[in-house]
Amino acid sequence: MRYIIILIFFVAALLTACSKTEDPGTTTAVKVANEWWVNYKTGDSTVKITTYNTASNPDSIWVNSLDTVGNGYRFACKVKIDMNSLEFSAQNSQNISVHKTNAITITNGKILPNVGHSRTNNPTDSIYLEVQYSDEPGVTYKIAGHARTMWDTDDY
């Protein structure tokens, strides 16, 4: 009888130790983190950019062009975002991309839920932003597109 009680206690302790009671949750950027297929007004190319959370700022996200935008430049910078209106901007934000420009200004950034359409006309979120590189004063690249659906037929 003593062994049965010890066995029951051991099994109960083992099951309790293996249960997950913590919820890892999500980041504050869950509504805006995505990959985006975008075009910019200086060319017909469709390129990919990403938006994702920063490590510690609940009111900031990263915006990263995975391909060149504009005069052959890439950018990756932090922007301030209002999670209620989904509007974002940055003034002379440090460009951590490997390309030559040092600072990026992003204006009129906005994510519009369920306003865009994918390549195959699936409804998805839309994104718009205007980018200025510090070494191209007066030149503004208007970037607009839609969220990546992760369906192969929607990829460019």
Is 23 inside a domain boundary? no
Give the pLDDT score at 145.
93
CATH number at residue 45: 2.40.128.220
Whether residue 121 lies inside any domain: the answer is yes
Instruction: Note whether residue 140 is domain-resident.
Output: yes
In a domain, residue 76? The reply is: yes
* 15 in any annotated domain: no
126 within some domain: yes
- The domain in which residue 112 lies consists of 34-154
The answer to whether residues 92 and 79 touch, using CB atoms and an 8 Å cutoff, is: no
Tens of pLDDT, residue by residue over 11-66, are 555 455 444 444 455 677 888 899 999 988 655 678 889 999 888 778 899 999 87
Tally of domains within the chain: 1
Share of the chain above pLDDT 70, in %: 76
Give the type of residue at 120: T
Is 14 a domain residue?
no
- The verdict on residue 115 lying in a domain is yes
